[in-house]
Amino acid sequence: MTSLGIGLIGTGFMGKCHALAYGSVKAVFGDVPATRLEVLCDVPAEKAEAFADQFGFARATSDWKDLIADPKVDIVCITTPNKVHKEMALAALEAGKHVHLEKPMALSLEDARQMLSVAERTGAKTIVGYNYLHNPAISHARKLIADGAIGRIVHFRGMVDEDYQADPDLAWTWRATKADAGLGTLGDLGCHLISLATALVGPVESLVAETRTVHETRPMGNGSSERRPVENEDIASALLTFENGVHGVVSTSRSAWGRKSYIGFEVHGTEGMITFDQERMNELRLYQNRGELAEQGFKTLLSGPAHPPYGQFVPAAGHQLGFNDLKVIEVHEFLKAISEGRNAVPSFREALHFEAVIHAIAEAGETGSRVRVARAD
């Protein structure tokens, strides 16, 4: 297998996560092409240089177009703020590069749809950073459902919360603007939940919703008495109708004190139930209406080698995967797809649906009416 050159734009939370994943994926899995960490881009140049040295990239640049133009780069990883995703992704695709894009794809659904269109025209491979999908516990939940372990699905509930915007005194930032951040908690957190809901139950057909901005203004900080409005939602909730007729409830808050990385869901079936919480990401809970009533109960399945690809990381159960390991699995999926000439999952196509749902929630929250989720085509 020919090795693949990596160009990474961004050195923050997700930038580092990508650097670590592309740096270790072959050691973990073995069955993928070797990766070369070729170019790292950030501004200013000094920052790019420092992180290139730390992360092990061959060179640094402060010009993302320079990175994209580099013939040694086969895959462009985009981990920049949301509002520049579109421009970078389109440029990379047009340059014939495969694109690993952090979520959400873009500020608007129209932009995301255009990105999909370009991707499918160029034939480049794409993947979007819906990393929680790659948790072996989630894969096992999907397998259990597919195998009929809980019968026919009849209901879904999900919540995704953090508390990074819970403090009323927190200073105003660009995250509060529609122009720079787009959606609020829906874009940051909600779309992750939708990615899981879709993977577990199927696509969403329509919904009603409510959205709330809990902290309507925020101080500008630095001793100023000025306050600026928060333009996007802190909390959003929706009643979903999936295409298969199943009814679901979802809710998200970026102002939920105590919740650090909470993504909880329940899948109700005619023969059992599955529940999960990302803050205990190595545990899946399963109830099955089987055997003696006196011995029925929720069973905690602790992730292990019986839940692939856990065993690629640790050959012993219960030892725990971490958040960064999910990105390694995502990168593995991408490299396998590229080397096999197939589409990765979730590509721009699947991601477009996730994002169509959150935009539908935002619209339903504003209009108070039922909204049909836009189709990819």
- Interacting residues with a second copy between 45 and 74 (CB under 8 A): 54-56
Q: Which stretch binds a second copy (CB under 8 A): 95-103, 148-156, 223-231, 335-343?
A: 148-156
Does 243 contact a second copy by CB under 8 A?
no
Nearer CB in complex with a second copy: 370/372: 370
Least CB distance to a second copy at residue 318 (A): 2
Least CB distance to a second copy at residue 155 (A): 5
Helix (H) or strand (E) holding 236: strand 235-242
Does 251 contact a second copy by CB under 8 A?
yes
For residue 150, the 8-state DSSP code is T
Nearer CB in complex with a second copy: 171/317: 317
**3-state DSSP of 96-120:** CCEEEECCCCCCCHHHHHHHHHHHH
Least CB distance to a second copy at residue 255 (A): 7
Report the alpha-carbon distance of residue 41 to residue 59 in Å, rounded.
9
Q: Which stretch binds a second copy (CB under 8 A): 116-124, 147-155, 177-185, 349-357?
A: 147-155
Least CB distance to a second copy at residue 222 (A): 22
- For a second copy, the binding residue among 93, 160, 193, 208 (CB under 8 A) is 208
- For a second copy, the binding residue among 67, 128, 286, 352 (CB under 8 A) is 286
Least CB distance to a second copy at residue 238 (A): 8
Least CB distance to a second copy at residue 95 (A): 26
Report the alpha-carbon distance of residue 182 to residue 246 in Å, rounded.
29
**Residue with the two structure tokens 């693949």:** 4
Does 81 contact a second copy by CB under 8 A?
no
Does 221 contact a second copy by CB under 8 A?
no
Map the footprint of a second copy across residues 149-188, applying CB under 8 A: 149-151, 154-155, 157, 159, 162, 164, 166-168
Does 84 contact a second copy by CB under 8 A?
no
Residue 343, helix vs strand vs coil: coil
- For a second copy, the binding residue among 216, 226, 243, 279 (CB under 8 A) is 279
Does 295 contact a second copy by CB under 8 A?
yes
Does 315 contact a second copy by CB under 8 A?
yes
Least CB distance to a second copy at residue 30 (A): 4
Sequence-ordered list of residues with C-beta below 8 angstroms from that of 132, at least 6 positions apart, any chain: 138, 192, 195, 196, 263, 278, 326
The binding track of 15-34 with respect to a second copy, each residue x by CB under 8 A or -, is -xx-xx--xx-xxx-x---x
Report the alpha-carbon distance of residue 22 to residue 101 in Å, rounded.
14
Helix segments in 44-158, DSSP class H: 45-55, 64-69, 85-94, 109-122, 136-146
**Residue with the two structure tokens 């270790």:** 24
Computed over its alpha carbons, how large is the radius of gyration of the chain? 21
Contact present, 105 and 351 (Cβ < 8 Å): yes
For residue 306, the 8-state DSSP code is T
Output b/e per residue, 174-206; b: 16+ Cβ within 10 A: ebbbeebbbbbbbbbbbbbbbbbbbbbbebbbb
Report the alpha-carbon distance of residue 258 to residue 244 in Å, rounded.
35
Does 306 contact a second copy by CB under 8 A?
yes
